[in-house]
Amino acid sequence: MDHEIPCPLCKQPINIFGDHATCCAKKGDVIIRHNSLRNLIDSIGTDALLSPVMEKKGILGNTTGRRPGDVTFQRWAEGKALVIDVAVTSPLVDPCNWYVAVPRQLFRFAAKRLGREFTSYCGRAWARVSCNLQRSVSQAILNRIDGREFDGNLADV
């Protein structure tokens, strides 16, 4: 693809870099990316023996329509819980620099619990996050390639 084409799902332009795929709300790719990251956070918490609970019911008390955080760690530190709510944003709109503080704390705790060096564990954990995001964005691009909806058959590409 060497020119812009309309997204087959929402008709917005897709440039040659596929940037539109990171924010297109059609086909559920943003939700899939969100859930994939949520599951990765849960997995890292499980590896660290933190007994994470995904979308813990009742954490907000008696509310209507409000959802809990995506992953809850009941025994985080000093008897307090940590609740992580995954947010999928577009790096083209929001630089997200301050979002890294909580995962870094989770990685530090996990490394300590597992008896691993923090820098080694942290580097590997960020690589897992990066690969997770790249895989999700790649799939979103494939879902929109060549101006038609991708059916999952690479022979068509």
Q: Please tell me the predicted confidence (pLDDT) of residue 16.
A: 80
Q: Please tell me the predicted confidence (pLDDT) of residue 25.
A: 83
What confidence tens digit (pLDDT) does each residue in 79-113 have?
888 888 888 776 666 666 666 778 888 898 889 98
Residues of the chain with pLDDT under 50: 147, 150, 152, 154-157
Q: Are the C-beta atoms of 140 and 24 separated by less than 8 Å?
A: yes
Give how far Cα 29 sits from Cα of 25, 102, 154, 156, Å.
Answer: 7, 24, 18, 20
Specify the pTM: 0.76
Euclidean distance between the first and final Cα of the chain, in Å?
11
Q: Please tell me the predicted confidence (pLDDT) of residue 150.
A: 46
90-123: b or e for each residue (b if 16 or more CB lie within 10 Å)? eeeeeeeeeeeeebeebbebbbeeeeeeeeebbe
What are the extents of the domains in the chain?
5-156
Q: Please tell me the predicted confidence (pLDDT) of residue 22.
A: 81
Q: Please tell me the predicted confidence (pLDDT) of residue 156.
A: 47
